[in-house]
C-alpha cells in the first residue's frame, strides 16, 4: 500500500515541478494577499477629517478645538465661517464631521449653564459614522471633565467621580484589525488552495483518459486519494507557515497558542477541504468546470459566510444556517482561539467535531455520486 501510494505522490510531485508558473502562484499568492488585506482591508479609523465652525471664537472654544487637534484620531481640514460652507465640506468630502460651536458656548459654561455642541457627521458609511460619533463623544466627555475640574478649583471645590471606568482589552490590546483578519485569511487561502488544486488534479486525469487506467490498476481508492492529495496538503501547510511568518514580520502578529495543536487542527481542516475538492472533481468533467465550481464554493463562502470579515451573529438566522456550507467557518474559530487567545482544545472541541461531520458527509456524497455515475456509464 505504501509503495503504491508513494508512487502516486511521486507522480503528482513531478507534475507540479514541471508547472513552475503554478508553483510561483501557489507560494506567492498567499503572501501578496496577506499584505493586500493587511493594509487595504482595515477597519481602524484614524485621522478623521473634521471641519470647525466656531461661532463663539472664545478662549474656551479654542481650548476645545486644540483638544481635538491634539488627538491622533482627528485631523482638522478647515475652518468654516458661515452656514453655507457646511454643505460644501460634506458634499465634497472635505470633512467627514463638522463641529459646530454655538455663540454662547463660553458664556454658558462660565455661568454654569448647560450648552450644546453639534456634530454633523457623514453617515453614508454607517460603520465609520458610528465610530466617529463615539470618538467625538469621548473627546467631549474628556473636555467636560477638564472644564469641571478648573471651575471647581476656582471655587474651592473638588471634583468627585463616583465610578472610574478602567478598560482593558485582552488578546488584541491595541485593537488592530489586521490581527483579527489574519486567522481568517489563513483559512481562506488554505481552503482555496486545497479545493482548487485537488479538484483540478482528479479532473486532469479524466481529461487525459488516465483515470480509467488507474481504476483498473491494483490501486485502491484510498491509495489514489492519499497519493493525489498529500502533495497539495503539504503545499497548503507551507502556505500556512508563510502567512504566519509574514504576519509576524509585517504586522507583528504573534502565535500565542500551541504549534502542535495548530498543526493537528489544520490537518483536520485540510482533510475537510480536500473532501470538498474530491466531491467537485466527481461532478465535473473538465478542468474549466472544476476550476469555476471550486472557486465558487471555496472563495465566496469563506469570504462572506465564515466570519472572516462579517460576524455571523449579526446575520439573520436563515443565513446563519447557510454558513455551515463552508468548513472555513469552523476553522476560523479554531485559529482565532489558538493564535490570538492562546487557549486549548476545550475552547473549540465542538468546532473540530463539526469539521469531522462535514468531512464525513462530503466523502459519503462523493462515494454515492461516483458510484451512480459509474453505473450510468
Please give the grid coordinates belonging to residue 228.
493525489
* CA proximity to 194, closest of 297, 319, 51, 107: 297
- % of the chain residues with pLDDT over 90: 22
Angle at 299 between CA 293 and CA 302, to 5 degrees: 125
Whether the CB-CB separation of 221 and 371 falls below 8 Å is answered with no
Domain ranges of the chain: 2-41+176-376, 48-155
pLDDT band at 218 (very low <50, low <70, confident <90, very high): low
Rounded Cα distance, 187 and 302, in Å:
8
pLDDT band at 157 (very low <50, low <70, confident <90, very high): low
Give 325's DSSP letter: G
Residue 140 has a CB neighbour count (10 Å cut-off) of 16
Whether the CB-CB separation of 281 and 290 falls below 8 Å is answered with yes
**φ and ψ at 62, to 5 degrees?**
-65, -35
- Give the pLDDT score at 162: 64
Whether the CB-CB separation of 244 and 329 falls below 8 Å is answered with no
In this predicted structure, the answer to whether residue 144 has a pLDDT above a threshold of 90 is no
- Write down the residue that cell numbers 471641519 correspond to: 51
In this predicted structure, the answer to whether residue 338 has a pLDDT above a threshold of 90 is yes
- Average confidence (pLDDT) over 156-171: 70
Rounded Cα distance, 268 and 360, in Å:
12
List all residues 6 or more positions away from 232 whose beta carbon is below 8 Å from its beta carbon.
12, 193, 194, 197, 198, 201, 274
More reliable by pLDDT, 351 or 157: 351
Q: What is the pLDDT of residues 61-109, one digit of tens each?
A: 999 999 888 887 899 999 998 888 888 998 888 999 999 999 888 888 8
Rounded Cα distance, 376 and 349, in Å:
41
SS3 259: helix
List all residues 6 or more positions away from 328 whose beta carbon is below 8 Å from its beta carbon.
184, 187, 188, 191, 301, 302, 306, 308
- Give the pLDDT score at 216: 61
H/E stretch holding 318:
helix 317-322
Angle at 193 between CA 264 and CA 255, to 5 degrees: 40
Lowest model confidence (mean pLDDT) among 76-85, 169-178, 198-207: 169-178
pLDDT band at 163 (very low <50, low <70, confident <90, very high): low
Rounded Cα distance, 335 and 349, in Å:
12
Please give the grid coordinates belonging to residue 356.
469531522
Please give the grid coordinates belonging to residue 207.
481529461
**φ and ψ at 113, to 5 degrees?**
-110, 150
Rounded Cα distance, 228 and 108, in Å:
78
- Give the pLDDT score at 160: 63
More reliable by pLDDT, 347 or 27: 347
- Give the pLDDT score at 220: 73
In this predicted structure, the answer to whether residue 377 has a pLDDT above a threshold of 80 is no
According to CATH, the topology of domain 48-155 is abc type-2 transporter like fold (3.40.1710)
* CA proximity to 144, closest of 67, 52, 69, 73: 67
- Give the pLDDT score at 146: 84
In this predicted structure, the answer to whether residue 237 has a pLDDT above a threshold of 80 is yes
How far, CA to CA in Å, does 298 sit from each of 7, 171, 290, 292? 29, 29, 12, 10
Distance in angstroms between the alpha carbons of the first and the last residue of the chain: 28
pLDDT band at 329 (very low <50, low <70, confident <90, very high): very high
Amino acid at each position: 500500500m505504501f509503495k503504491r501510494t508513494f508512487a502516486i505522490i511521486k507522480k503528482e510531485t513531478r507534475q507540479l515541478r514541471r508547472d513552475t508558473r503554478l508553483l510561483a502562484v501557489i507560494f506567492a499568492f498567499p503572501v501578496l494577499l496577506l499584505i493586500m488585506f493587511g493594509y487595504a482591508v482595515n477597519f481602524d479609523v484614524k485621522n478623521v477629517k473634521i471641519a470647525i465652525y466656531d461661532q463663539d471664537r472664545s478662549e474656551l472654544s479654542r481650548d476645545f478645538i486644540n483638544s481635538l487637534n491634539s488627538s491622533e484620531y482627528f485631523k482638522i481640514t478647515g475652518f468654516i465661517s458661515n452656514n453655507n460652507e457646511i454643505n460644501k465640506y460634506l458634499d465634497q468630502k472635505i470633512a467627514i464631521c463638522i463641529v459646530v460651536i454655538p455663540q454662547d458656548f463660553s458664556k454658558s459654561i462660565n455661568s454654569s449653564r448647560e450648552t450644546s455642541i453639534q456634530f454633523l457627521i457623514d453617515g453614508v458609511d454607517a460603520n465609520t459614522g458610528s465610530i466617529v460619533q463615539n470618538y467625538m463623544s469621548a473627546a467631549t466627555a474628556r473636555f467636560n471633565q477638564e472644564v469641571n475640574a478648573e471651575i471647581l478649583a476656582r471655587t474651592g471645590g473638588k471634583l468627585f467621580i463616583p465610578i472610574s471606568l478602567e478598560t482593558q482589552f485582552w488578546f488584541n490590546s491595541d485593537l488592530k484589525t489586521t490581527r483579527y483578519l489574519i486567522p481568517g485569511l489563513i483559512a481562506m487561502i488554505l481552503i482555496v488552495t486545497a479545493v482548487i488544486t485537488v479538484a483540478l488534479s482528479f479532473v486532469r486525469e479524466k481529461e487525459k483518459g488516465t483515470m480509467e487506467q488507474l481504476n483498473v490498476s491494483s490501486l485502491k481508492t484510498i491509495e489514489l486519494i492519499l497519493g493525489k492529495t498529500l502533495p497539495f496538503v503539504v503545499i497548503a501547510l507551507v502556505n500556512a507557515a508563510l502567512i504566519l511568518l509574514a504576519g509576524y514580520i509585517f504586522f507583528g502578529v504573534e502565535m500565542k497558542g500551541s504549534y502542535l495543536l495548530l498543526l493537528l487542527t489544520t490537518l483536520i481542516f485540510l482533510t475537510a477541504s480536500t473532501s470538498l475538492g474530491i466531491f467537485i472533481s466527481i461532478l465535473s468533467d473538465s478542468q474549466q468546470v472544476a476550476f469555476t465550481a471550486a472557486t465558487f464554493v471555496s472563495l465566496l463562502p469563506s469570504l462572506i459566510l465564515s466570519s472572516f470579515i462579517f460576524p455571523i451573529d449579526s446575520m439573520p438566522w436563515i443565513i446563519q444556517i447557510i454558513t455551515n456550507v463552508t468548513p472555513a467557518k469552523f476553522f476560523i474559530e479554531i485559529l482565532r482561539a489558538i493564535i490570538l487567545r492562546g487557549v486549548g482544545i476545550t475552547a473549540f472541541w465542538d468546532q473540530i467535531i463539526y469539521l469531522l461531520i462535514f468531512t464525513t458527509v462530503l466523502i459519503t456524497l462523493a462515494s454515492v455520486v461516483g458510484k451512480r455515475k459509474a453505473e450510468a456509464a
